[in-house]
Structures are given as structure tokens and as C-alpha cells.
């Protein structure tokens, strides 16, 4: 059975909605998606299925969808692995392309600036010894 064809604009809304949820999941802000009833009506069952499929692909685990509060749709993992401290936690899959690198600290910047000069002055030194000099 194939999913009903969604108009392109509704598919874009569902994709945008998923992007917002995925960002919050990746940052650890949420592990359960709660879709407002008006939004659920706007994107339809096919849009909700798209979100479920993307969530399953992201966490590589089954996801369940059911009604929550008054008209809300809850989308959540069916299995929550136990974390190191015994607290249930879902490990979000972080795409390395989406991850922003941390900026270098002051020592790293200082060392990068002076490393070449020290190597030029003392070519016989090993990198560990150069680090002590800088």
C-alpha cells in the first residue's frame, strides 16, 4: 500500500516541521514530538508519517505515534536505552555535516601562531618538546 500523494506545498511544510523537530532532538531538548491538532490536520496523515519515518531513521529505532492530550499527536521512541546514570535517554544521531566545530581556545591560537617559528629555530625537537617551549 503506497502513501497518498501530498501536494508539494504540504510536503514542504512537513519537511520544515521535521527540520525543527530534528534540531531540538539533536540538541537534546526533546525526545518526544507533540504535534498540535491544527498542524496535524494541515499536514495530514502523510505528513505525520513522513515525520515518523524521519525520526525512526534518525534514532535507528522504532517510533510510535498516538493521540496525546486534547487532539495532540505524540510521536516518540518505543525503546529508550538506559544511560550511564540509569536515566532513560535517547541518543540522537548527529550528522557530522550538521555539527559545528568548536572555536579554538586562546592557547591553541597562540600555539598555531608560534609553532612554525619554534620549529624553524629548533628543527631537531620533537613536537612534545615544542609544546613545552610554546
Cα separation, 104 vs 108, in Å, equals 6
The answer to whether residue 84 scores a pLDDT higher than 50 is no
The pLDDT tens digits of the residues spanning 26-82 come to 888 888 888 888 888 888 888 888 889 998 888 888 888 887 667 788 888 887 644
Dist. CA 105–CA 114, nearest whole Å:
15
**Phi, psi dihedral angles at 33 (to 5 degrees):** -95, 130
Q: Determine contact, residues 126/115, Cβ cutoff 8 Å.
A: no
Q: Pick from 44, 56, 59: which is nearest to 14 by CA?
A: 44
The alpha carbon of residue 32 and the mean position of all alpha carbons in its chain are separated, in whole angstroms, by 14
Amino acid at each position: 500500500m503506497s502513501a497518498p500523494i501530498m501536494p508539494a506545498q504540504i510536503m514542504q511544510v512537513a519537511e520544515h516541521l521535521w527540520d525543527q523537530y530534528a534540531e531540538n532532538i539533536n540538541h537534546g531538548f526533546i525526545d518526544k514530538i507533540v504535534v498540535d491538532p491544527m498542524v496535524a490536520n494541515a499536514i495530514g496523515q502523510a505528513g505525520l508519517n513522513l515525520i515518523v519515518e524521519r525520526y525512526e531513521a534518525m534514532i535507528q529505532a522504532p517510533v510510535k505515534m498516538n493521540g496525546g492530550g486534547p487532539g495532540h499527536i505524540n510521536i516518540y521512541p518505543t525503546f529508550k536505552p538506559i544511560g550511564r546514570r540509569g536515566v532513560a535517554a535517547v541518543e540522537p544521531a548527529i550528522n557530522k555535516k550538521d555539527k559545528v566545530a568548536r572555536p579554538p581556545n586562546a592557547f591553541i591560537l597562540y600555539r598555531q601562531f608560534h609553532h612554525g617559528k619554534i620549529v624553524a629555530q629548533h628543527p631537531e625537537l620533537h613536537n612534545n618538546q615544542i609544546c613545552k617551549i610554546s
